[in-house]
Amino acid sequence: MENIAQWVGIDVSKATLDVYIRPMGKAFSVANTEVEISHLVEELKSANLNLIVLEATGGLETELVIQLQAAFLPVALINPRQGRDFAKATGKLAKTDAIDAKILAHFGEAMKPQRLPIESETARQLSELISRRRQLVEMQTAEKNRRSRARGKALADIEAHIEYLEQRLKQLNQEIEELTQNNQQWIDKINLLKTTPGIGQVISTTLVSDLPELGKLTAKQISRLVGVAPINHDSGQHKGKRMINGGRAHVRATLYMGAVVAMRHNPVIKAFYERLVERGKSKKLALTACVHKMLVILNAMVRDNLPWCISDNFQPIVNA
């Protein structure tokens, strides 16, 4: 390959990977298999790469990301909506896998998305276990909702499934605990986050696993990454509602759970929430603001390696 700065877009499907290299204009496809991916990685290693851009495709991209990162190649993973919106903005209305790969390469050059941090195999396993735990909790909630409407044998089957899910969750929690105990940095960070009222073992472990950037970014950057930064919707004299959008939805959902608990047991967050409601903010908006405030403080805590409180009143000691 020519020794010029290049941007690579890879459209991922179950069977194939469509690759486009910009500005060379080189396009090709390979099978989405472990062997073919290894050949692709070897070819890309010889290039002068700025960034490789992929879309999150529900796990179809996992093997590719693993091999690219193992070769220390720069990778960015974006939301498919971002790629589609960019295509529309640049007048590319047609959609094929080859066209999508070309658009992703262009997106990388124009927007310069943040590259993924390099994950160890243990970190990847922890993330997968936490993701699986989240899936089981969703199944358990769905079954509990069905239980109230079931009768007879159907009810017995639902209750048996709920019991099975409870046992699996216990086993998963144990596996997650064992995995984190093998990494002293994780242990230290988890224990630090748990000093925050409202942040327990599950939430702190999720943050360590799925938000490794915590403590490494500014307050604005981490808020945008998670998707809790309010976005303006103003035009001329019109002042629209500020709304959150995008980001890591599962991390945001986890922080929401922590904020709900913190509104009852964390005097700082509770006072902040009540103050917003008294000003006329809706409860939903006030809760979202609490999530944002908690995230900013947690980010500062990890950055400065300082616990949440210095007294029984749980006063934050960080400048968030």
What is the spatial distance between Cα 314 and Cα 149, in angstroms, rounded to a whole number? 43
Torsion 139-255-65-85 (CA) sign: positive
- pLDDT mean over 277-292: 94
* pLDDT score at 320: 47
What is the spatial distance between Cα 27 and Cα 201, in angstroms, rounded to a whole number? 46
Pick the range with the lowest mean pLDDT from 104-113, 123-132, 210-219, 240-249.
Answer: 240-249
Q: Are 269 and 260 in contact (CB under 8 A)?
A: no
* pLDDT score at 235: 45
pLDDT-derived band at 246 (thresholds 50, 70, 90) equals low
Question: How many CB atoms are closer than 10 A to CB 63?
Answer: 16
* pLDDT score at 245: 57
- pLDDT mean over 297-306: 95
pLDDT-derived band at 182 (thresholds 50, 70, 90) equals confident
pLDDT-above-70 percentage for the chain: 90
- C-alpha dist (Å) from residue 278 to 272, 273, 274, 275: 10, 9, 6, 5
Strand 49-55 versus strand 6-12 pairing type? parallel
H helices of the chain, in order, are 34-45, 62-70, 80-89, 97-111, 121-147, 152-180, 184-193, 201-210, 219-226, 249-265, 267-278, 283-304
pLDDT in tens, 102-120: 999 999 999 999 898 877 8
Tell me the Cα Rg of the chain.
23
Q: Over the chain, what is the mean pLDDT?
A: 89
What is the spatial distance between Cα 66 and Cα 119, in angstroms, rounded to a whole number? 8
pLDDT-derived band at 168 (thresholds 50, 70, 90) equals very high
pLDDT of residue 153 exceeding 50: yes
pLDDT of residue 312 exceeding 80: no
Which residue in 125, 131, 132, 202 sits closest to 165, CA to CA? 132
pLDDT in tens, 229-239: 765 444 454 44
Q: What pTM was estimated for this model as a whole?
A: 0.74
Q: Which residue has the higher pLDDT, 313 or 294?
A: 294
* pLDDT score at 308: 87
Q: Which residues neighbour 303 within 8 Å (Cβ) at sequence distance 6 or greater?
A: 215, 216
pLDDT of residue 138 exceeding 80: yes
* pLDDT score at 230: 66
pLDDT of residue 242 exceeding 60: no
* pLDDT score at 238: 41
Domain limits, the chain: 6-111, 121-182, 193-304
pLDDT-above-90 percentage for the chain: 74
- pLDDT mean over 221-233: 77
- pLDDT mean over 253-278: 94
Q: Are 194 and 201 in contact (CB under 8 A)?
A: yes
* pLDDT score at 93: 85
* pLDDT score at 117: 82
Task: Provide the token pair at 130.
Answer: 């936490």
CATH of domain 6-111: 3.30.420.40
pLDDT of residue 311 exceeding 70: no
